[in-house]
Chain A
Amino acid sequence: AAGVIQSPRHLIKEKRETATLKCYPIPRHDTVYWYQQGPGQDPQFLISFYEKMQSDKGSIPDRFSAQQFSDYHSELNMSSLELGDSALYFCASSLSYTQYFGPGTRLTVL
């Protein structure tokens, strides 16, 4: 069965650079969620989209933005990167109450 696809899987950036993470949800899933997971931490909710509209917002910094496109894929844009942004970024998709996670993008900010 198709799963959530994220790209890239690994990304290394320097401070103050920008990064774009992509997420392709499971086909026919209408909701996409973004999470940030620091080392030894539980996933922290950033933002979600339902039918291409932002549906909920968590602890997403103002330097980050996201959108969902007409083909339901989503992109998380991160600007003015800081060392503390180094983390695993997960995307999840759902059709009802169960969220299925992608493999994650490991972002390292040097």
Chain B
Amino acid sequence: EDKVVQSPLSLVVHEGDTVTLNCSYEVTNFRSLLWYKQEKKAPTFLFMLTSSGIEKKSGRLSSILDKKELFSILNITATQTGDSAVYLCAATALGIQGAQKLVFGQGTRLTINP
């Protein structure tokens, strides 16, 4: 059965700290790993990772994929209160009839205290 596991499930840090969120996956016909940020609304897209070892960066956020060990990390440096959210990791794979399917992890609830 395809599964995506995120850790920790919850994390509370102080503003300015650096955090690392973990995501491991086991999916058949894996294609890519996506990171989303979800506040009190729909998940918003952060990164798509398809190649191992290539870091993607967007401001204070960065992410990398290890396809050999089947995991990804999301780093956030100099955290701000606006980074408080649930961070979802999802693996895309080919489903039946060649369609894409997305398997989500449980999410990491990140709280940044001022």
Task: List chain A positions with a Cβ less than 8 A from chain B.
Answer: 31, 33, 41-45, 48, 50, 55-58, 90, 92, 94, 97-104
Contacts and interface: CB of A to CB of B under 8 A. Distances in A.
A92 B92 CA distance: 14
16 contacts: A31-B100, A42-B105, A43-B43, A43-B88, A45-B102, A45-B104, A48-B100, A48-B101, A55-B97, A56-B96, A56-B97, A90-B42, A97-B34, A97-B50, A98-B45, A101-B44
Nearest to B89: A42
A97 B43 contact: no
Interface-central residue, A50, A57, A58, A99, by most chain B CB under 10 Å:
A99
Contacts of B101: 45, 48, 56, 58
B45 A103 contact: no
A98 B104 contact: no
A44 B107 CA distance: 12
B31 A97 contact: yes
Nearest to B48: A98
A20 to B, nearest CB: 19
A92 B95 CA distance: 16
Contacts, number: 66
Interface residues of B, number: 26
Contacts of A101: 36, 42-45
B41 A43 contact: no
Given A42-B106, A101-B42, 17 more contacts: A42-B105, A45-B101, A45-B103, A48-B99, A50-B99, A55-B97, A56-B96, A56-B101, A58-B101, A92-B102, A97-B34, A97-B50, A98-B32, A99-B45, A99-B102, A101-B44, A103-B42
A56 B99 contact: yes
A101 to B, nearest CB: 4
Given A43-B43, A45-B101, A102-B42, A97 B48 contact: yes
A100 B45 contact: yes
Contact of A55 (B42, B43, B50, B99): B99
Contact of A42 (B32, B42, B95, B107): B107
